[in-house]
Amino acid sequence: MKKTIKIGVGVIVIVVALAGLWMYHTHELYEKSYRSEYRYEITIDSDSALYNVTLLVPLPIIDGRSRIGDEIIAGHASKPDGWSCSIVETKHGKMLKISAEKIPPGVRKRISAVVDVGRDINTKNPIGNEPLLSPKYNLTLSTYDLPYPEGQSPPTCYEYESRIYADFESPTDAEVSIYIEAEGENSWWVYGWSGNSYRDRVGITFTGEQPGWHIASGKLVYGEGRYGWI
pLDDT digits (tens, 9 = 90+) for 183-225: 999 999 766 678 899 999 999 999 999 999 999 999 999 999 8
Residue 1 domain-assigned (yes or no): yes
Residue 24 domain-assigned (yes or no): yes
The answer to whether residues 4 and 100 belong to one domain is: no
**Regarding predicted confidence, which is higher, 9 or 176?**
176
The answer to whether residues 83 and 154 belong to one domain is: yes
Residue 230 domain-assigned (yes or no): no
The answer to whether residues 6 and 63 belong to one domain is: no
The answer to whether residues 141 and 197 belong to one domain is: yes
The answer to whether residues 18 and 44 belong to one domain is: no
The answer to whether residues 89 and 76 belong to one domain is: yes
Question: By 3-state DSSP, what share of the chain in percent is helix, strand and coil, each rounded to 5?
Answer: 15, 50, 30
Its domain, for residue 87, covers: 36-225
Q: How many domains does the chain have?
A: 2
The answer to whether residues 51 and 4 belong to one domain is: no
**Regarding predicted confidence, which is higher, 101 or 144?**
101
Cβ pair 58, 164 in contact under 8 A = yes
The answer to whether residues 71 and 104 belong to one domain is: yes
Residue 139 domain-assigned (yes or no): yes
The answer to whether residues 62 and 118 belong to one domain is: yes
Residue 17 domain-assigned (yes or no): yes
Across 70-94, b (16+ Cβ under 10 Å) vs e yields ebbeeeebebeeebebeeeeeebeb
pTM value?
Answer: 0.84
Residue 75 has pLDDT above 70, yes or no: yes
The answer to whether residues 60 and 137 belong to one domain is: yes
The answer to whether residues 104 and 186 belong to one domain is: yes
